[in-house]
Structure 1
Amino acid sequence: MSRKCDYDTVDAAIRKRVEECMNNLTKFQINRPAHEVFEAFVDPAKIGNFWFSSSSARWEEGKNFTLIYDIYNAEVGITVHEIEVNKRIFFQWAGEENTVTITLKELDEATTIIEVNEEGFQENDPALVQKMVDNKEGWVYVLCCLKGYLEHGIHTLREGLVR
């Protein structure tokens, strides 16, 4: 038996679910201690191995930073609102309402669960579903690159994304 898909109904169902959450949560297991995962984000010498090319300085609570992506000739600002060393980073993208919470849960001395939760998506945005899909794709990609870097020393994955 063939089932016909009603795309309006599917879109409405997705939109209803999104409206209930208005956030994107991405989780990964990284086989490294939490302090190594934390340092990969906050240390400007390490962030270029998996995400942006560089950061203007070491991330600290209450300060603004510029993240630079050389290959795309792009840069973006962030404000780091809160840091709990080796446990949590909470920041906001410059000029946007979206905030990101990176939470590290150390399972043992060699294994960390990283959770990235981005919030602030506007439920009335006509492009909401596409923005959330793009956002999820982006965080999955960042965390894959982080895993490759920390577990296997691969630092060239971030340049492979093609849109």
Structure 2
Amino acid sequence: MNTQVTTKLKINKPANEVFEAFTDPSKIGNFWFTSSSERWEQGKTVTLRYDEYNAEGAIDVLEVEDNKKIVFSWGGYDQETVVTITLTEADTSTIIEVNESGLKEDDPEVVAKMMGQKEGWVYTLTCLKGYMENGVNTLRASLIH
């Protein structure tokens, strides 16, 4: 079974602006986590915080290609997955594709985990679209689990 989760969305902004929304710590709180400890750069470990859920976690930034690609791992030792965010500019818009891989096929909960990750990425990218296109920054952290 292919356990990779893929989500794509069109954002009506140029790729450099979408890239900065993820990598600039002053912007990520407008659509995703409450805060990011520092700029996302290759080789760095960045702490992401959700004040609303009293939670934080670390990501390891594995690869960054300015305005095109961000690759990071998260989830801890036994649950680690790799997320690849690819930005493809098309005229005045950007197609953002998120691929998350590494979910264990033999995990009895793998389907539920895949569905949860898919739901999370659709929600995150929807919040990003609202923020980037309309300045809406109140959608994030509204999912009820």
Query: Which of the two has greater helix per residue?
Result: 1
Q: Distance in 2 between matches of 1:49 and 1:97?
A: 26
TM-score normalised over the length of structure 2: 0.97
TM-score normalised over the length of structure 1: 0.86
Equivalent AA in structure 1 for residue 59 of structure 2: I
Q: Which residue of 2 aligns with 1:70?
A: 51
Count of residue correspondences? 143
Larger radius of gyration: 1
The one of 99, 103, 110 aligned to 1:121: 103
> What SS does the corresponding residue of 2:80 show, helix, strand or coil?
coil
Identity among equivalent pairs (%): 61
Q: Which residue of 2 aligns with 1:10?
A: none
Equivalent AA in structure 2 for residue 51 of structure 1: W
Q: Which residue of 1 aligns with 2:86?
A: 103
Shift of 1:160: 1.6
Are 1:79 and 1:94, in contact at CA under 8 Å, matched by a contact in 2? no
Unmatched segments (≥5 aa) in structure 1 = 1-18
Unmatched segments (≥5 aa) in structure 2 = none
Residues 11-30 of structure 1 aligned to structure 2 (within 5 Å): 19=1, 21-30=2-11
Cα-Cα RMSD: 0.8
- Is 1:147 the equivalent of 2:125? no
* Higher-RCO chain (CA-CA 8 Å, sequence separation at least 6): 2
Shift of 1:67: 0.2
Q: Which residue of 2 aligns with 1:15?
A: none
Alpha-carbon spacing, 1:138–1:46, altered in 2? closer, same or farther (3 Å): same
Q: Which residue of 2 aligns with 1:31?
A: 12
